[in-house]
Structure 1
Amino acid sequence: MDIPVFILAGLLVHCVFLVSIFDIYFSSPLVHGMTPQQTPLPPPAKRLVLFVADGLRADSLYELNSNGTPRAPYLRSILENNGSWGISHTRVPTESRPGHVALIAGFYEDVSAVAKGWKENPVEFDSVFNESKYTWSWGSPDILPMFAKGATGDHVYTFCYAAESEDFGAEDAAKLDIWVFDHVKSFFNSSRSNQTLFSALNEEKVVLFLHLLGIDTNGHAHRPNSREYQENIKQVDEGVKEIASLIDDFYGNDGKTAFILTSDHGMTDWGSHGAGHPSETLTPLIVWGAGVNYPQQVTSQFFEDNFLKEWKLENLKRIDVNQADVAPLMASLIGVPFPLNSVGTLPLEYLNSSAHFKAESMFTNAVQILEQFKVKMSQKKKTTLSFLFTPFKPLSDFEQINLLKKIRLYIQQQKYDEAVALCKTLINLALEGLSYYHKYDRLFLGLSIAVGFVGWTTYVILVIIKAHTNLTKTVPTNEKKSTVLFYSFASAGMIIAFFLLIQTCPWTYYVYCLLPVPVWYAVLREIPVIQDLATNVLSLHMGQSIGFLLVCILGIEILVFSFFYRSALTIGLLVFAGWPVITQLWIQAKMFSVALSTYVVSSTHNSLKNKQGLPVMNQIISWMTLVSSPVLLLLSPTFLFQRLFSILLSLMSTYLLFSTGYEALFPLALFGLMFAWINMEQEALQHYGLSLKPKLAVFNFTCAVDITQFRQLHLDDVRRSFFFVFFIVTAFFGTGNIASINSFDPASVYCFLTVFSPFMMGGLLLLKVAIPFVLVSCAFEAVQVTTQLSSKSLFLIVLVISDIMALHFFFLVQDYGSWLDIGTSISHYVLVMSLTIFMMVMNGLAQLLTTQRLGHPRRTKHHST
């Protein structure tokens, strides 16, 4: 296979492997076509006020100040005297969009939904807002529009401040919440002179939504333990008190208003969110007003987190819920249909209503989830051959009818507790059934991908052996056998395609199921190579072969293990450190750009600390450094050490601008390690009896390399490739857990911008992450050319190692257990698959950075084919 065709095929295959887990494990759970379900009894409240304090941690709200006073006096008095309280448990990813969708629509978006962004997204699901008579909302332009766009009719209204207001670096972000409170006050005042608005506000089934972003913004900018974050909580508390009083006065204290305060997610101590740490998943929930239970005194209660004693709330009943449970609670309080896609269970302990109302509400909840189950089952039945379809037996048609009849009979007989218990059983069965049909195709899709994975890895190994070793000999192609093989695989592909067609499967299924066909066809075409290899391997010393295999397996397992325990990288580094100590090489150079970057970081930090915002001059210098660094390094000579040192200085000046502390030293340490690696690999050449290469100090990247000087692969080259993968993994985890972007401090980008822009900030963070990769890739390029190897031969070994790791993580992907485990399993697989594709790009970039020089003619560096 030609090199360009091979690279293209490799990219396509790995893209398929990468995308497959989202179809197999994390496709959207949404179904459509359900009948709306509504409780037939009159609701306790006419209107609902929802306060979402974005980024508010449960402990930050409930814990007392050092002097024993509450941080939020009004809300503390509510949970002690007027309402019910607890913890709302969020799910990964702990981001604003999925958090609000869970609260307001009652279901958990699939992980890939985060990639759709925050702004201007069409509402592809039902919500409490959509089911309400009217909804008015105030707050961030990142959140409100997605619940207004796509809502049926014209009854969801939004009032947003400008996106530029979300500035992490300017004055206190509590102004965002003050804006919301002020505009709500103005709204009610203006309604007294607007009869249309006044009438609408006095309707039933009305929702008022106040999205309060200040706490989240202050948490990002100053950390949750800062004075700004805690002062913002106090300001929110005062604002909630004013709004609650204003609304009660407006409606003449009619006792028909229900209030809910909660959060979409929490925040880590370093000011980020997105993963599954308790500081991110534990959010407060306080409910009071119409239809809500008063505080319940208890003598003892137990929760694993042991927060109650710390919060001095051990004698007040704590009612924990899943975040999606808030949506059915809101729907029940104001009597609107439960959101069609909701998977939440109504938390009855929050309701202060009759046993009849509770039973009817739970029955509505159960039927609403059962409707989703029936639609999901019907869809799967239509796309599966009847003799292959296996229904979810615990909830057969007979069992559904039987449970519904029993519940209705219990309600008629006023056996409300029994009816509620049976409703919960039905809900649990329906949710299990939804999960069953959602995962229905997982086994055969997973097997297809695994077979494709093994086939591709086998093919790459055969290419390496055939083209870059002396273990096989060229055998003439048997045209007859080749033709039979082709038609056999073509027939198999047609049978698979026909099987998928009659089941009306999605087009992606064709890709996953047909991919193994051409891959294994390519493998079996190399049967003579496999036979030669088997013969040669048997003739080798068996102990040497087994030992080499065990070392390879151990090395790859260390790399896999390092994703779970970073300390495993220490083993590899200690082994590397055991090599003979080499002479250190010093190159003198001015470090003006590095010094300037250091000053900019320090100046920016001081300015933000003093709440003076991001200095414009610092911002200009930062962006100019970012743009000019790759250009300046191309002006340096292409002698090995001079060019590598120029790459370090240029990239380090940029990296400094992204740094917030001692992490700035990481590229320097990595650079020293790479120099040691290059020197040691050069010394190892004498074992092969090769002609002496020029000294490294005078080696020129642009020197034409005679293709006849390239040698065949040796077992030590596996080690070189392994070292490259090992150092790439070390770069992954050198300054943060890249498996979770939330481990990176948002302050990393403050030299470039402070106004909230998720995609720009994310892009800059990815650039920061890429810099250590570039250093490792350039060092690997130096190893390739100084050890007289073609880049293709070494890179193919790298491809095999990374693919074996990826297959390992493919089988570790899970969608059960804790949400931290689920998120980690996804990120590990995506990382390793992305790494394979990314290293292809890095290889090309490294060649560009090491061989090109501006203003000088380029002499091509040849590689074997």
Structure 2
Amino acid sequence: MLLFFILGLLVHFVFFGSIFDIYFTSPLVHGMTPQLTPLPPPAKRLVLFVADGLRADTLYELDENGNTRAPFIRNIIMHEGSWGISHTRVPTESRPGHVALIAGFYEDVSAVAKGWKENPVGFDSLINESRYTWSWGSPDILTMFAKGASGDHVYAYSYDADNEDFGAQDVTKLDTWVFDNMKEFFHAARNNQSLFSKLNEEKIVFFLHLLGIDTNGHAHRPTSREYKDNIKVVDEGMKEIVSMLEDFYGNDGKTAFIFTSDHGMTDWGFHGAGHPSETLTPFVTWGAGIKYPQRVSAQKFDDAFLKEWKLENWKRQDIHQADIAPLMASLIGVPFPLNSVGILPVDYLNNTDLFKAESMFTNAVQILEQFKVKMTQKKEAILPFFFTPFKLLSESKQLNILRKARSYIKQRKYDEAVSLCKELIQLALKGLSYYHTYDRFFLGINVVLGFVGWTSYASLLIIRSHSSFTRGVSKEVKKPSHLLSCSFIAVGVLVAFFLLIQDCPWTYYIYCLLPVPIWYAVLREFQVIQDFVISLLTFPPSQLAGYLFIFTLGIEVLVLSFFYRYMLTAGLIAFACWPFITQLWIRAKSISLSWIFFSLLLAVFPLMPVVGRKPDIFLVIGAGSLVLLLSLCVLTSLIKRKDRFINEELLLHLFQMLSIALSMYVVYSTHHSLLKKQGLPFLNQIISWIILASSFVLPLLSPTSLFERLFSILLSWMSAYLLLSTGYEALFPLVLSCLMFVWIQMEQETLQQSGVSYRQKSQGYLCCHKSIHEFDHKVTSLQFTCNLDITQFRHLYLEDIRRAFFLVFFLVTAFFGTGNIASVNSFDLASVYCFLTVFSPYMMGALMMWKILIPFVLVMCAFEAVQLTTQLSSKSLFLMVLIISDIMALHFFFLVKDYGSWLEIGTSISHYVIVMSMTIVLMLLNGLAHLLTTKKLELYGKSKSHLI
């Protein structure tokens, strides 16, 4: 069985990894020829201002007094340049946003995961193509482009990463540092002839990365005074920089300026998904080669922003974020970034029609080069009779469009040439997507075959070893025929040979060969399949159809809950009716009432807002107070119940209560310290980390009796959860745990009601614990210490499928009960402020993932207790849980989309990743839950089990 679970873990890792080869592969290709517009550029230098985390509406709108927050930018829009909105794609994070801006392509998600600061893959960028680039700002961004550039022409000046402190008194210093250091740099250049000479070269770039707005948005929300005041600081700083540059270069009119943002931010201070507040960023450009403001009488846009911003009379021109890279390349006359998929926004250019047409022609050839390289690579890797070319853009059509466009330029039909080049670009982009996803269907078929085979094999294993369906059949496994073995070996060899002659990646061998042994294992159990089918035929068709309908309905509710959280509420309301359906209401009214109450109470949480909620520290304090009150009641009960209460147990319980109280104090104290902009108190930080570390150890010191161990786990992990909470979610683990305690008792009552005799079937098992009489009357008398495999005591029944479904449902509720982890922007960085405020993406991410896992572990520990009280093998019940999870994962695999909006595509993929992660994590957390519930640490090396 251990070997089976190890193999199962490996198989699920393969299924999990397959989604990255199918949907998350890098779109980059190499080997293209650089393309350069043959005409002289309008600008000698470019200044790029990127205000990290700046929303378009917050910049453009007027304040409550009707005044602009950015008078310098407003003046540019009305008198000097052009403006619009830059539309970003998901994920709306700093790294992919800057890559789109400067390199012109939308980075795949796997690249973001592989490297936060450094490039996991090489790509060309405007900075690489420039003669010289000087940049100032955050080390996370500047290092990435400096390392990706070839040669020694990129100079990056960044502050210490410790300055990115969300709890600092004034984070606008992140921006003023950039402005001050750039001023000092130019002042020093006047006395440095070598540097002065470089600064007067052509094709140079100045990149100013301004992180203060993003940091203020995370710390105080974009609606805060701090966020809006930071915009004023940036506006004033830009005005000074522009004035300094004009003075340095003697107003030569050869400087182009661009001001934009990498992403926006939601009202609750986060970004990463596709909310309009994240994807709508400002874009303002002026200077050499840029059109002056154009007055218009009316504009057609779907949104109502123009009237709100009082900018309806100045022409707004929206662009895609990747379009900024070719615009910048065109302005200073450098080759378009080789991997750029941006389309040059010619309407922004203040130049001749010939220059616009030539630039657009260069843009079209540059993107066509990528298409041709991608097609050649795919064609060389596939057998000729299997290769299907992209029919919309054949070689003859490419030549025809290029000749026609060149002819239009010679005939001075510039508008026709521009239009034709845009058509060629659209076809080339479709072709790039076609070849990028060429193997998707082939790989998908193999993954589905592996999925179905694995689920079938796991089901057969349960039927053969843990059910009564095969009682009439010999349990001896018959040796499979040599013909079956030889057939599958032959199939495997053929598949491997087919992949070898096509020079496929090594991962393709895994996806394509994995179904072969899996289906061999399934077909060798043919006798079990036959016996199972015969057993099913003995069931009345209506009853069988009813079971199948209920099971399918349950799976669909779980799947729909990923899209609509209120489905969890509907499910919990249905759970509340369970005592009436099974007549438990008559047998155990008090337990049934508790089940109904906590089911309905838990059903409230999925109806609460996922995001946008404001921090409410008093709710966190209230949750801690309830836990302390409950602890006092339990402590009193334990003292009364035991003839001799162990001193160590009393001290442990009191220490855990102290941890809860300290967590409440740290949360309150840290919140007020940050409000006063005094930062995170060092003592609070130390206490928080100590409480987090102790939460792993303290439960292992408690007695292994069921109730006391589970309650000890709740107290320890609740203290850590309080430190990671900002509002109503602090109540969630408490309510969930109460329902779990009632679930354990409900399952015991259900099993007793079904007529299963404990006295007959579990006498050997119960000798490890208390007397049979005690077990019949108190579930709390059980202990997590018996190592016997109890599969010999009873088989699986249909009721056990319901238990497995309950577990999966509670796990999904633990996922989505207080948030939607399918969306990155559901996370609130304020959750980790008790531990750290200095920006550290991996540490912050780890803490927030731990916050998600705490309810998960509470459910898994309760599951251990359910297995104990129902005399059910943990292996068999866990197998059923994995099967349900795999059916859900296969469901989401079919729902994965590669069309529609980027948000829809990303969401569909994330659902599959979540379910697969849940399946894998379940295997690991099952071991963690077993450790937490069964192991006991002895402080003095002396067992005290005889006193318990």
- TM-score norm. by structure 1 comes to 0.97
- CA distances 1:50-72 after superposition (whole Å, capped 9, x unpaired): 00000101111111101100011
Partner of 1:634: 700
Runs of at least 5 residues in structure 2 that lack an aligned partner in the other structure:
580-584, 595-629, 636-652, 760-771
| Aligned counterpart, 2:267 | 269
Match of 2:640 in 1: none
CA contact (8 A) 2:59 2:69 kept: yes
Other-structure match for 2:504: 505
1:691 corresponding residue in structure 2: 758
Correspondence list, 1:19-418, <5 A: 19-121=17-119, 124-418=122-416
Q: Is the 8 A contact 1:582 1:680 kept in 2?
A: no
Percent of paired sites with the same residue: 70
Q: State the Cα deviation string for residues 837-864 of structure 1 (Å, max 9, x = none).
A: 011111111111111111178999xxxx
1:530 equivalent in alignment to 2:529 = yes
Task: Report deviation, 1:704.
Answer: 5.3
The aligned residue for residue 514 of structure 1 is 513
User: Which whole-Å deviations, capped at 9, do the CAs of 1:746-801 have from their partners, x for residues lacking one?
Assistant: 01000001100000100011111110001100011100011000110000100110
Deviation for aligned residue 1:587: 2.1
Judge conservation of contact 1:370–1:427 (CA < 8 Å) in 2.
Answer: yes
Q: 2:931 aligned with 1:848, yes or no?
A: yes
In 2, the alpha carbon distance for the partners of 1:582 and 1:816 equals 52
CA distance in 2, matches of 1:424, 1:397: 17
Deviation per residue, 1:224-276 (Å, 9 max, x gap): 01111101000000001000111011110011100000011111111111111
Kindly indicate whether the alpha-carbon contact (under 8 Å) linking 1:89 and 1:321 is maintained by their aligned counterparts in 2.
yes
Per the TM alignment, residue 705 of structure 1 is displaced from its structure 2 partner at its CA by 4.7
2:451 is aligned to: 453
> Which residue in the other structure is 2:621 paired with?
none
1:614 alignment partner, one of 672, 680, 701: 680
CA contact (8 A) 2:790 2:872 kept: no
What SS does the aligned partner of 1:136 have?
Answer: strand
Report deviation, 1:487: 1.1
* Contact persistence 1:632–1:650 (CA under 8 A): yes
Deviates more, 1:377-386 or 1:4-13: 4-13
Cα deviations across residues 324-358 of structure 1 (Å, max 9, x unaligned)? 00000000000100000000000111111111000
The residue number in structure 2 matching 1:464 is 462
* 2: CA distance, partners of 1:703 / 1:464: 23
* Equivalent-residue separation in structure 2 for 1:706 and 1:475 (angstroms): 19
Q: Which of 752, 771, 774 is residue 835 of structure 2 equivalent to? A: 752
Q: Which residue of 2 aligns with 1:781?
A: 864
User: Do the aligned residues in 1 keep the contact of 2:34 with 2:336 (CA within 8 Å)?
Assistant: yes
1:635 partner amino acid: L
One-letter amino acid of the structure 1 residue matched with residue 899 of structure 2: Y
Structure 1 match to 2:492: 493
Q: Write out per-residue CA displacement over residues 199-233 of structure 1, whole angstroms, 9 at most, x where no aligned residue.
A: 10101101000000000011111110111110100
The structural deviation recorded for 1:304 is 2.1
Contact 1:138 1:209 in 2 (8 A): yes
Q: Which runs of 5+ in 1 are unaligned?
A: 861-865
Equivalent in the alignment of 1:796? 879
Q: Are 1:587 and 2:642 matched, yes or no?
A: no
CA distance in 1, matches of 2:932, 2:408: 76
Separation in structure 1 between the aligned mates of residue 821 and residue 573 of structure 2, nearest angstrom: 23
Measured after TM superposition, the shift of residue 478 of structure 1 is 4.7
For the residues of structure 2 that align with 1:401 and 1:858, how far apart are their CA atoms? 85
Partners of 1:113 and 1:333 lie apart in 2 by: 29
Q: How far apart are the structure 2 equivalents of 1:831 and 1:564?
A: 13
The amino acid of 2:729's aligned partner reads E
1:572: how far off?
1.3
Partner of 1:717 in structure 2? 800
Q: Distance in 1 between matches of 2:145 and 2:198?
A: 19
Equivalent position SS for 2:590: coil
Distance 1:368 1:485 in 2: 54
CA distance in 1, matches of 2:888, 2:791: 34
Q: Secondary structure at the match of 2:198?
A: helix
After superposition, the C-alpha distances for 1:450-472 in whole angstroms (9 at most, x for unaligned) are 11111111111111111111111
Query: SS of 2:384's equivalent?
Result: coil
Closer, same or farther: CA 575–607 of 1 in aligned 2, 3 Å: same
- SS of 2:519's equivalent in the other structure is helix
Name the Cα RMSD after superposition: 1.5
Residue 680 of structure 1: aligned partner: 746
1: CA distance between counterparts of 2:319 and 2:111? 23
Retained in 1: the 8 A contact 2:47–2:207? yes
2:285 partner SS: strand
The CA distance in 2 between the partners of 1:33 and 1:859, in whole Å, is: 71
- For 1:158 and 1:389, the matched residues in 2 are separated by 46
Q: Which moved more, 1:348-357 or 1:306-315?
A: 306-315
Greater mean alpha carbon deviation, residues 341-350 or residues 535-544: 535-544
Contact 1:475 1:528 in 2 (8 A): no
Kindly indicate whether the alpha-carbon contact (under 8 Å) linking 2:485 and 2:520 is maintained by their aligned counterparts in 1: yes
SS at the partner of 2:936? coil
> How far apart in 2 are the matches of 1:123 and 1:180?
28
Q: In structure 1, what is the Cα distance between the partners aligned to 2:231 and 2:918?
A: 41
> What one-letter code is carried by the residue in structure 1 that aligns with 2:908?
S
Map residues 831-846 of structure 1 onto 2, 5 A cutoff: 831-846=914-929
Report SS of the residue matched to 1:582.
helix
Distance in 2 (CA, whole Å) between partners of 1:387 and 1:116 is 36
Q: Deviations 1:626-670 (Å, cap 9, x if unpaired)? A: 001221111111111111111110000000000111211111111
SS at match of 1:611: coil
Residue 690 of structure 1 and its aligned partner are, at CA, apart by 2.0
Give the conservation status (yes or no) of the 8 Å contact 1:704–1:859. no
Q: Residue 55 of structure 1 contacts residue 266 of structure 1 at CA under 8 Å; is this kept in 2?
A: yes
Q: 1:772 aligns with which of 831, 836, 855?
A: 855
Matching residue of 2:545: 546
Residue in 2 that maps onto 1:598: 664
Aligned partner of 1:624 in structure 2 is 690
Assess if the C-alpha contact under 8 Å between 1:703 and 1:859 holds in 2: no
Letter in 2 for 1:267: M
Residue 707 of structure 1 is aligned with which of 785, 790, 795?
Answer: 790
1:686-710: CA deviation from partner (whole Å, max 9, x where unpaired): 2042216612121111145573763
1:82-103 CA-to-partner distances (Å, cap 9, x unmatched) read: 1111111111111111110000
What is the SS of the residue equivalent to 2:270?
A: coil
The CA distance in 2 between the partners of 1:122 and 1:490, in whole Å, is 38
- 2:767 corresponds to: none
List per-residue Cα deviations over 1:779-830 (Å, max 9, x = no partner): 1110001100011000010011000000010111123211211121121000
* Alpha-carbon contact 1:328-1:342 (below 8 Å) kept: yes
Offset of 1:118 from its aligned partner?
2.1
Matched residues, number: 857
Residue 314 of structure 1 deviates from its aligned partner by: 1.5
Give the superposition deviation at 1:739.
1.1
Per-residue CA distance 1:448-507 (angstroms, 9 max, x = gap): 10111111111111111111111112265554x432111110110110110111010111
Q: What residue number does 1:863 align with? A: none
Q: Which residue of 2 aligns with 1:738?
A: 821
**Structure 1 residue 377, shift from structure 2 partner:** 0.3
